[in-house]
Structure 1
Amino acid sequence: MEMKLVRSRTDRKLAGVLGGLAQSLGINATILRVLFVILLFLTGFFPLTIVYLVLVFILPNKEY
């Protein structure tokens, strides 16, 4: 079964990017969100903010 990276429609806080990534990796979305926030502070906000915004526009929403 092929796993596509898509934005989640059900497990979303902002745009569903981290929820979709967590679903495709098979991990808890809360853990991924905590890691994202920690890395956001460690990298000085800018790099991960740009990556997140790019993924918002590139990744399609999950189809039912």
Structure 2
Amino acid sequence: MNINQVREQLHRLIDEVDDIYVLNGLYRNLVADKRQREEYERDQAEKAERSKTRSARRKD
């Protein structure tokens, strides 16, 4: 391998590493968004259940 080939290969590897970092960051963001959405949906379901329980008590 001559120096130009080594440089080219190095640049390709650097680009691949950059892509991996970007994809890893996107993955972490998606996982965090999913966790937040699940927590929000769980909280909303709990609030709805409490609301149903309260309204059922008032009717009795």
The answer, yes or no, to whether TM exceeds 0.5 is: no
- Higher relative contact order (Cα pairs below 8 Å, separated by 6+ residues): 1
Between Structure 1 and Structure 2, which shows a larger proportion of helix residues? Answer: 2
Q: Which structure is larger by alpha-carbon Rg, 1 or 2?
A: 2
TM-score (norm 1): 0.27
TM-score (norm 2): 0.28
